[in-house]
Amino acid sequence: MEISQVAKKSGVSASTLRFYEEKGLISSIGRQGIRRVFSPNVLERLELIALGRAAGFSLEEIAGILGNEAKPEIDRELLLRKANELDGTIKKLTAMRDGLQHAAACTAPSHLECPRFRRLMNLAATGVINGVINSKSTNL
Amino acid sequence: MEISQVAKKSGVSASTLRFYEEKGLISSIGRQGIRRVFSPNVLERLELIALGRAAGFSLEEIAGILGNEAKPEIDRELLLRKANELDGTIKKLTAMRDGLQHAAACTAPSHLECPRFRRLMNLAATGVINGVINSKSTNL
DNA sequence: CTACAACTTAAAGTTAACTTTAAGTCAAGC
DNA sequence: GCTTGACTTAAAGTTAACTTTAAGTTGTAG
């Protein structure tokens, strides 16, 4: 397949495909003249990459996980760790969502005077939520 | 207060405080010689900024919301919209977490052969989850 | 009086994940 | 034989939210 066909089928732009190749995430099967030729397998690989991204892996991590093998064997422990990380993120986001909803509905004259809003502010300020802001690993 | 005291009390570094001032997020009450002097109120403001960040607002959005007022009146509609966005993110992340957990436990010889894993891959590839990856607004 | 720590500024550097640009290659159709 | 469109490369640009650096200024302690 030509790069444009891979792009069309996968929804990943040609420039991104070249970028991914450069990073070792995918590889072309050869060249026809100067043009890359891809195996259809690259589509599956791209799905795995999308999956990894969606789960919060960085491209570097994904490259490490997928390796160079044709049939990537995914590290189950790593998956569980990521699942746990996601779980933590979900919990924090849920607290945030509830806080925001309350703040929106709250009748206190100013949010600054609403005890619940203040508690939320405290959460944010004391860094309970910081992991959510700056988390590299689940940096979606 | 001097900048270092604000930094210590708030946990926000001095360079970040200057950066925030430049961006119009906070302001110093004046100068003593060349040095900035801050009102203690800036600490509250910094908490609000942290809260906004934690909720997924960009600094620009936060500047817009907080404005220049002493007592910022927060737009309730905006809060609700953000809460809804967060809710969407939470749902997607929950799907991802469950998928990852299953993948980790799954006994199929290769994840590529596990139907549930494949469904997850499809989700990721078809962009259902893309909003989570590239969402600027909830870009935590 | 002088050294020093803590501040100041403006500008450049950082990171990830791409995108854009400029300049060039190549097969195919007219 | 020439134009066209799809490809190629290497390098630079983009974005957000900072951090770092270099060079200069101060109040204060010794």
CA of A35 to C1' of C29 (A): 20
pLDDT digits (tens, 9 = 90+) for B93-135: 788 788 888 888 887 777 777 887 777 777 766 655 455 555 4
Average pLDDT of chain B to the nearest whole number: 81
B132: which chain A residues are within 8 Å (Cβ-Cβ)? 54, 140
Residue B50, H or E segment:
helix B41-54
The residues, ordered by sequence, that sit 6+ positions from A17 with a Cβ below 8 Å of its Cβ are A3, A6, A7, A10, A26
The mean pLDDT value for A65-83 works out to 75
Q: Kindly identify which residue of chain B lies nearest to residue A124, measuring between CA atoms.
A: B51
Q: Do A133 and B54 touch (CB under 8 A)?
A: yes
pLDDT digits (tens, 9 = 90+) for A25-64: 999 999 999 999 999 999 999 988 988 887 778 898 888 8
Q: Do A83 and B104 touch (CB under 8 A)?
A: yes
Q: Kindly identify which residue of chain A lies nearest to residue B125, measuring between CA atoms.
A: A47
pLDDT band at A125 (very low <50, low <70, confident <90, very high): low
User: Which tokens is B60 given?
Assistant: 């620009």
pLDDT band at B84 (very low <50, low <70, confident <90, very high): confident
- For testing contact with chain A, the best of B43, B97, B138 (most A CBs within 10 A): B97
Strands (E), chain B: 30-32, 35-37
Q: For residue A109, what are the CA distances in angstroms to A85, A105, A116, B48, B116?
A: 37, 12, 13, 16, 50
- Assessment of whether the complete model's pTM goes beyond 0.85: no
